[in-house]
Structure 1
Amino acid sequence: MTATRTDSVSDAMRSISQRIEPELRAAVDALDERNRLVAGYQLGFWDAEGEPATGSGKGLRPTLAMVCAGAAGGDRDVAVPAAVAVELVHSFSLLHDDVMDMDTTRRHRATAWTVYGLDAAILAGDALLLLAMQKIAEGGRAEAAERLAADVHRLLAGQAADAELERAPTATLAAAMDMAAGKTAALCAGACALGAILAGASAEVVGRLSAYGHHLGLAYQLRDDLLGVWGDPRQTGKPVGSDVRSRKKSIPVAYALQHDSAAGRRLAARYSSGDPVTVQEVAVITALLHQCGADEWTAERAEAECEAALAQLDGAGLDPGERDLLAAIAAFAAGRDR
């Protein structure tokens, strides 16, 4: 990806994050004081004591909602309720995900449950989900509320599959991909569809943009799984080899677990053991994953999902400028800018 295209994605995310931040803050401010404190911390509005802070997520899903509204021929601002709603749902899912995985850091700081406790994090996540449903209702289209509810169901199914995989002694690649389709791709597809719905797009355009978001979400998760094993902690905000330390059955791991090789069998034997992974073992397990070709396969599959996303944009009658931005976002999600 060229520097110009990378900058266009960064600029769009920054601009849309600034556009919806007042709406997000207003939504959080409507909560009771306890849930407000935890929710605002999760969203990066303040520190553990409630003092102003800077730094939040990338804003990918809100960006998808508003750019897809523009691509479908509407004004981006008609999708503000969708953009706010999907960001609230995403924050809800991260809060609960950190509790389920017992992760202690996210985005270079302590996770909410380690600061406020398990009960507080779970309840704040519930509050964020309810806020999301309230916000999408402000879009004035029942179809949008129904779509968001369906996507949340798919996201929860993905979370449940993730928890089940963590308990299982092994994992198939198909199971790991299905989990990613629910846990990550569902909300990306939903964000795109919601933006198009609120813009009054035809069913065909909504379907095309939804499929684009699905493939983009898979590409994004594949790249995220690569970073979970081989990523730089300065970029990921998590310790080196964090997914290996937690014995997470991410997509590269699932690929390697069924690899018919000495390295694959050695890895499967290690993962079937209930023993914790030591710091010294991280490098060994990472080397086994590489010997199985897990990093190369995952990167290639991310590229394939990016291409599948781009194919959905062709012939859909989209606004040319917004269509180009969607193409750049797909490349960003697949890691072509890295």
Structure 2
Amino acid sequence: MTALETTPVAAGRPAGEVLAWSRTALDPALRAAVDSLPGSMRRVCAYHFGWTDEHGRPIAADAGKALRPALALLSAAAVGGLPDRAVPAAVAVELVHNFSLLHDDVMDGDVTRRHRPTAWTVFGRDEAILAGDSLLALAFQVLAEAGPPGPGAPYGIGICMVNATVQRLLDGQSADLAFESRESVGLAEVRAMAENKTGALLGCACALGAWFGHGSPAQVAALRAFGELLGLAFQQVDDLLGIWGDPAVTGKPVHSDLASRKKSFPVVAAMSSGTPAGDELSLKYGHEDDLAVLAGLIETAGGRAFGQSAADDLLGRALGHLDTARPHGPAAAELRALAAFATRREK
């Protein structure tokens, strides 16, 4: 038996400890998977994950929160399974997530991620895109090699779940990019975009983990709904941090989303507010160079308050679906702790 199988998930651990536990469980399998890539791809991916510097020398940089892997592992435990058995699910969703980050940084022109230069600024756009493609292909390989979670389980279900999620993620990213060049975008459109771009992968992490944990179809569906609504709440907070986050904490430049003229939740809520500040924002958003002015207009028009209120509402609805799944013991409390963390984080 492995350490994860013999060490139960403790009750009442705070989110930080849960994420550290998830990272410890994830990293050996994630590194082994990335080590299987061709050298050219491995070099860029190892840098992106914070394992090496641009010369390939080992370092220990910020590798991210590992929220999605934690959701996968805890969802397996929540339906009565062993979190260790869901490690392939955790690795797969983390690979998909980082595939999307590598591509997003290129498309958005972001030069900083996790307090370091983005991979494309170090290795070039083409190499970063190819590295992202490599991670996506690797996610499917990990699931294919893992096979079904037990006797009688159909082969390929996990692969199909991830494939459908990636298609939704790509559709959401396409919409997000299209919004930047449109003068008018509605809140319903932004929500649909976020459901695909962010909610789908968090929902998949929970559903895939529950499937590896031998959850019932009803439990898998309820945990997917929990994850998708949590993903929407997560995106609301991410949009707030993209405007008002502290660069020293987020690892991104101040007002980063405004620099790329993203039509994020706070921006669209402000533009749709019918207030003088919202109307002024609509007129200035495409050409105002002073990003602090734009941030002030968004806050005055209620965009910041809208984002936090929406995140709180979505969190409550997500927890309702978690209760519907009737999660087992300690994992239930830890999933709730992660959900609270996702809506109260600073990066």
TM surpasses 0.5: yes
Deviation at 1:316, TM superposition (A): 2.6
Query: What letter is aligned with 2:18?
Result: A
What SS does structure 2 have at the residue aligned with 1:331? helix
Structure 1 equivalent of residue 7 of structure 2: none
State the alpha-carbon separation in 1 of the partners of residues 59 and 244 from structure 2.
29
1:125-161 Cα deviation digits (max 9, x unpaired): 0000000011122332321111111111111111111
Residues 336/49 of structure 1: CA separation in 2 closer, same or farther (3 Å cut): closer
1:58-91 Cα deviation digits (max 9, x unpaired): 0000000000000010000110000000000000
State the alpha-carbon separation in 1 of the partners of residues 51 and 346 from structure 2.
28
What SS does structure 2 have at the residue aligned with 1:314? helix
Structure 1 equivalent of residue 93 of structure 2: 86
What SS does structure 1 have at the residue aligned with 2:64? coil
Is 1:328 matched with 2:342? no
Out of 37, 50, 53, the residue aligned to residue 44 of structure 1 is 50
State the alpha-carbon separation in 1 of the partners of residues 167 and 226 from structure 2.
20
Q: How many residues align?
A: 330
Out of 247, 262, 272, the residue aligned to residue 233 of structure 1 is 247
Contact 2:250 2:346 in 1 (8 A): no
Q: Percent identity?
A: 47
State the alpha-carbon separation in 1 of the partners of residues 17 and 299 from structure 2.
35
Is 1:253 matched with 2:262? no
State the alpha-carbon separation in 1 of the partners of residues 316 and 346 from structure 2.
15
Residues 19/69 of structure 1: CA separation in 2 closer, same or farther (3 Å cut): same
Out of 295, 299, 302, the residue aligned to residue 290 of structure 1 is 299
Contact 1:172 1:257 in 2 (8 A): no
Structure 1 equivalent of residue 312 of structure 2: 303
Deviation at 1:169, TM superposition (A): 2.1
| Aligned counterparts, 1:118-133, within 5 A | 118-133=125-140
Question: What stretches of structure 1 of length at least 5 have no aligned partner?
Answer: none
Structure 1 equivalent of residue 221 of structure 2: 207
State the alpha-carbon separation in 1 of the partners of residues 38 and 222 from structure 2.
40
Out of 132, 137, 158, the residue aligned to residue 144 of structure 1 is 158
State the alpha-carbon separation in 2 of the partners of residues 241 and 178 from structure 1.
23
Structure 2 equivalent of residue 219 of structure 1: 233
Q: CA RMSD in A?
A: 1.7
What SS does structure 1 have at the residue aligned with 2:146? coil
Structure 2 equivalent of residue 75 of structure 1: 82
What SS does structure 2 have at the residue aligned with 1:248? coil
What SS does structure 2 have at the residue aligned with 1:266? helix
Tell me the TM-score normalized by structure 2. Answer: 0.92
Tell me the TM-score normalized by structure 1. Answer: 0.94
